[in-house]
Amino acid sequence: MKVGLFYTCLVNIFDPHLIGKAKNILEFFGFEVVIPKSQTCCAQPNFNSGDFDNSKELCKLFINNFYELDYIVVPSGSCAGMILKNYPELIMNFPDEIKEKYKSLKQNIFEFSDFMYKKIGPENFSQFSLEKELTYHDSCSGLRQLKIKNQPREILKKIKGVRITEMSEPEECCGFGGSFSIKYGGISSEIAEKKCSDIISTDVKNVCLGDLGCALNIKGKLDWMKHDIEVSHLIDVLHDSMFKKENAI
Amino acid sequence: MIPCLKKKMLFNPSNFKKNYNKNINNPGLKKSLFRSRKIVDSRKIAIKSVSDFELLRNYSSEIKNNSISNLYELLINWEKNAKKNGTIVHWAENYEDVNKIIYKIAKKNKVKNVIKSKSMLTEESGLNNYLKKKKIKVTETDLGEYIIQNSNEPPSHIIAPAIHKSKEEVSELFSRIHKQKITNNIEELTQQARENIRPHFFNADMGITGANFLISDSGSTVIVTNEGNGRMTNTLPKVHVAVTSIEKCISNFEELSLMLRVLTRSATSQNISNYISITTGKKKQKELDGPKEFHVILMDVGRTKILESDTWEILKCIRCGACMNHCPVYHTIGGHPYGWVYPGPMGAILNSSLLGNKIAGDLPYASTLCNQCGVVCPVKIPLPELMVKLRNKKFKSMNIFKFEKIILTFWSFISKNPSIFNFFVSITRKILKLQANKKNYTPSIFGLKFGWFIKRFLPKPK
Amino acid sequence: MSARSNILKKLKNIKLSHGKKDFKIDVKKIVPNFKNSETFFRAKSIENNCIVETAKNIDEINEKILNFIQANNYSSDLFVWPSIKTLNFSPKFKINSKKYNNEKVGVTSCFCGIAETGSLMFVSSEATPMSQSLLPESHIAIVRRGDIVRTMEDGFNKYFVEKSIDRLDRQICFISGPSRTADIELTMVIGVHGPKRLLTLIVDDL
């Protein structure tokens, strides 16, 4: 089965290692991973800022890059959400050919943890081990647009040695909001402080999540608050459990 | 012309940034906003007392979808029935007319003292100041409205207008205006308010209320309250005026019963509000109670324009306040920075829709689009979607030399050209790595601590 | 052109069809499935900070009212709704049914009780002046057991048995407890402008 990986612009800039890690994980489970070289951005920054016209062209690029694959995996709830929820309106006036491509693509696109859960299954992770106590932050788009809640938790719980301590409000927004974090940085930073205080009071040393935007925000704030807490994408944690030999129990 | 908005006034949506910066650094407000979070938990309990709250939301949403689509028929029918029962119906297309109509009624009835039960629409029209200039005394009787009237502030929340005030601040205010024993005890403060407001109920010549719903089949107006001042206002004075807007009309009492279930749970976490008053007409013959004249002012200031637009869904709003109760932005900055009558997510949308892009176009951007509001909205308004639509309107009207527009145009340009995009990515990574210190984070870019860097660092690219 | 014609013209010309055509409400799917209306009514009323008592006959009504007055150090002055003034109230009470004279206690009948929310439904008229359920410091409401219905919809249906929808009484009011507010620091306080206490007497018959 050919799985296309849409790694997202933030991963490209801030953590391209996640690309290789995601590839390793998917290949381990027998998927052939295709990483289209001409991928760039899903159009979310433009769309959310109200720039619909420029967003439309970017939709076309994404659709053409990925429509022929069996599955498309996106390590970001907000990007997957953008493609699934907002593309239909943006491509409304496009030629039928593009709309048909999107229609077939739409059924096969998954946020990363959702793909792991539905196409691989939590049981397949019980063979791995990793000593890690973590708390999980629910990214807003993943949670409210795509209903990502149990999927990452069920998988993590299966890994021997992983313990999840829930923060008091895991579903509260971390304050990132894309360009909001720059345009209204003062407000964004204050919201981030509340999220980080919640994380800090769990006493765990690692927060795991599914969106790099949230990760940059939370890590950046924790660093400023002088708290040494690791912030990992789910891909990092799964990869560590699967490929770091020292973790084998 | 918006009577209550003047450019120089600090309380104005175009002063959003200045106002929120002031509020972020206000520790007292922080405490008040933190305290108000308890409503999030109490709502979770309240919604459990119906068997299927999600189904209830679907019903309420459909009732509103239907009513909004049929306002012509509903209002014609409502007016016919209202008049049958002796209601005097007025229609107004702008704020000046709303105020003038009320003044005309007051003048005809030689009104000197007015009592008011909460009405957001009269906040929109700036009625209190208008009547003050005409030498008519207006007393707000809702406890929260009474507090902010006397402290000369605008409301900061649509259900609890004084939510930003601590009991100490209320105590200080009451000790000044009541000249009674100073107390920090909330029950004693409430008792003081009861004693001091009570004479006004009896002295008033006219009572002004809002209306939560209009019932088309019977020509009734409905108010949903807890304190009792609403009932005093619609019963004791010889003249009662209810000010409402056209989108409040629903069909019948079956719909009302349903809407009430979702409204009270979403607004105050109650299974039912303490008092639901359904008024149809003036005092009947031989009745001792009730006003001899009952007027309803139906206003359409900007509503039909919104109805025709792609943000029509904001007209479904039943003013419960759940969206702002769940909004991380509202909980950080409070209500005042939104600069007009309505704060929070529904405020960002409604203020921007009614006041226009130039004055309030920034408000829809003040959101992370987390949708914590949308999932609790009792009538399922897709609030973040509407915000993005309004952002589109603002974006289109922006000057091409505006920094934001330039950056976004640049971003979309490079995103359409993958090789240029990848080149840009590698340059950015290099710059950020250079700017980062030994601790794996960047404290600023070229020394500039803009936006992102306000009390926050940026992780170094890996 | 008047504001009215302008507004109606605009509304008439806007063709909207946002609602579903075959939309039906099934209230049974929403309202909790309680068996006994009276028990549920009682529980909800108490949750709403009402005091709930039962009385078999006028003697017991008198007894409950006397207990209430004594417990609150009230005088024996009662304002009683004209609708129930002919009941055999105890001679210990000084009954006034004409014009309200600042009595601390108002005694009223009510149209019906609503079990789902523990509310009382009132209808205004010459014999049932609504302000007398609002002005006194305490309100005693007498509701017949047989008049407790399940939901607000049932309450309206009962009302419309005899009333025509376009000729309602001036006010229909649902009262669910003593007056309250949470406007200061979102802390609930019982007793604001309306009554501070509500005693509901469920009686077999009047």
- pLDDT per position as a tens digit, B14-62: 889 989 999 998 999 999 999 889 999 999 999 999 999 999 999 999 9
- pLDDT per position as a tens digit, B109-153: 999 999 999 999 999 999 999 999 999 999 999 999 999 999 999
Domain that holds residue A153: 122-247
- pLDDT per position as a tens digit, A77-91: 999 999 999 999 999
pLDDT at position C16 is 86
Do chains A and C touch by CB distance (3+ pairs < 8 Å)?
no
pLDDT at position B435 is 86
Of the candidates B217, B221, B216, B224, the one whose C-alpha atom is nearest the C-alpha of residue B241 is B221
Out of C17, C27, C116, name the one closest to residue B69 (CB): C17
Inter-chain residue contact A191 with B457, CB threshold 8 Å: no
Mutation pick from B19, B25, B37, B369 vs chain A, by most beta carbons of A within 10 Å, is B369
Out of B411, B422, B452, name the one closest to residue A182 (CB): B452
The percentage of chain C sitting over the pLDDT mark of 70, rounded to a whole number, equals 100
Q: Which residue type, as a one-letter code, is found at position B230?
A: G
What's the rounded Cα separation, in Å, for the pair C27 and C24?
A: 10
Inter-chain residue contact B454 with A55, CB threshold 8 Å: no
- pLDDT per position as a tens digit, B162-185: 999 999 999 999 999 998 889 999
Please indicate if any CB of chain A lies within 8 Å of the CB of B397: no
Q: Give the mean pLDDT of A121-135.
A: 96
Contacting residues of B for C16, CB less than 8 Å apart: 68-70, 307, 312
Question: Which H or E run includes C139?
Answer: strand C138-144
CA dihedral (A213, B330, A229, A209) in degrees, to 10, reads -40
pLDDT at position B5 is 60
pLDDT at position A244 is 81
What's the rounded Cα separation, in Å, for the pair B398 and B290?
A: 54
pLDDT at B403 over 80: yes
Q: How far apart are the first and last CA of chain B?
A: 54
The percentage of chain C sitting over the pLDDT mark of 90, rounded to a whole number, equals 89
Inter-chain residue contact B287 with C179, CB threshold 8 Å: no
Question: At A82, which CATH number?
Answer: 3.40.50
pLDDT at position B444 is 85
Q: Are residues A134 and A109 in the same domain?
A: no
pLDDT at position C23 is 85
pLDDT at position B97 is 96
Of the candidates C37, C118, C171, the one whose C-alpha atom is nearest the C-alpha of residue B272 is C118
Give the model's confidence band at A160: pLDDT under 50 very low, under 70 low, under 90 confident, else very high: very high
- The CATH fold assigned to C37-178+187-203 is Rossmann fold (3.40.50)
pLDDT at B1 over 70: no
* Full set of structural domains in chain B with CATH: 42-166+198-301 (3.40.50.10420), 320-397 (no CATH), 403-459 (no CATH)
Q: Are residues A65 and A164 in the same domain?
A: no
Domain boundary among A118, A144, A166: A118
The larger pLDDT score, comparing residue A248 to residue A48, is at A48
Out of B62, B220, B228, name the one closest to residue C19 (CB): B62
Strands B206-209 and B239-245: parallel
Q: Give the mean pLDDT of C137-163.
A: 97
pLDDT at B367 over 70: yes
What's the rounded Cα separation, in Å, for the pair B316 and B377?
A: 10
Count the domains in chain A.
2
pLDDT at A249 over 60: no
Task: Name the 3-class secondary structure at B304.
Answer: helix
Domain boundary among A118, A153, A179: A118
Cβ contacts from A onto B, under 8 A: 174
pLDDT at position B90 is 98
pLDDT at position B437 is 75
Q: Give the mean pLDDT of A176-205.
A: 96
pLDDT at B387 over 80: yes
Count CB-CB contacts under 10 A for residue B375: 16
Q: In the predicted model, what is the mean pLDDT of chain B?
A: 94
Q: Are residues A126 and A242 in the same domain?
A: yes
The percentage of chain A sitting over the pLDDT mark of 70, rounded to a whole number, equals 98
* Beta-sheet strands, E only, within B108-266: 113-116, 137-140, 206-209, 213-215, 220-225, 239-245, 249-250
Please indicate if any CB of chain C lies within 8 Å of the CB of B45: no
Q: Give the mean pLDDT of A35-59.
A: 94
Out of A40, A180, A220, name the one closest to residue B458 (CB): A220
pLDDT at B244 over 60: yes
Task: Name the 3-class secondary structure at B265.
Answer: helix
Q: Give the mean pLDDT of B381-395.
A: 97
Whether B95 contacts B126, CB under 8 Å: yes
The larger pLDDT score, comparing residue C77 to residue A245, is at C77
Inter-chain residue contact B329 with A182, CB threshold 8 Å: no
Inter-chain residue contact A219 with B329, CB threshold 8 Å: no
- pLDDT per position as a tens digit, A1-13: 899 999 999 999 9
pLDDT at A162 over 70: yes
pLDDT at B8 over 60: no
pLDDT at position B459 is 95
Domain positions in chain C are: 37-178+187-203
Per-residue three-class SS string for B404-449: HHHHHHHHHHHHHCHHHHHHHHHHHHHHHHHHCCCCCEECCECCEC
Inter-chain residue contact B300 with C179, CB threshold 8 Å: no
Q: Are residues A81 and A197 in the same domain?
A: no
pLDDT at position C205 is 78
Domain boundary among A118, A151, A166: A118
- pLDDT per position as a tens digit, A102-118: 999 999 999 999 999 99
Give the model's confidence band at B2: pLDDT under 50 very low, under 70 low, under 90 confident, else very high: low
Give the model's confidence band at B73: pLDDT under 50 very low, under 70 low, under 90 confident, else very high: very high
Residue of chain C whose alpha carbon sits nearest to that of B31: C185
pLDDT at position B436 is 87
Mutation pick from B25, B331, B387, B412 vs chain A, by most beta carbons of A within 10 Å, is B412
The encoded tokens of residue A4 equal 């296309």
Out of C16, C48, C177, name the one closest to residue B68 (CB): C16
Q: Which of residues 37-76 of A touch B (CB under 8 A)?
A: 37-41, 43, 45-52, 54-55, 57-58, 61
Q: Are residues A59 and A173 in the same domain?
A: no
The percentage of chain B sitting over the pLDDT mark of 70, rounded to a whole number, equals 98
Q: Give the mean pLDDT of B243-256.
A: 98
pLDDT at B439 over 80: no
Q: Which of residues 49-108 of B touch C (CB under 8 A)?
A: 49-52, 55-56, 59, 62-63, 65-72, 75-76, 81, 84-85, 91-93, 97
Inter-chain residue contact C179 with B70, CB threshold 8 Å: no
Please indicate if any CB of chain B lies within 8 Å of the CB of A20: no
Q: Are residues A110 and A129 in the same domain?
A: no
Q: Give the mean pLDDT of C160-183.
A: 95
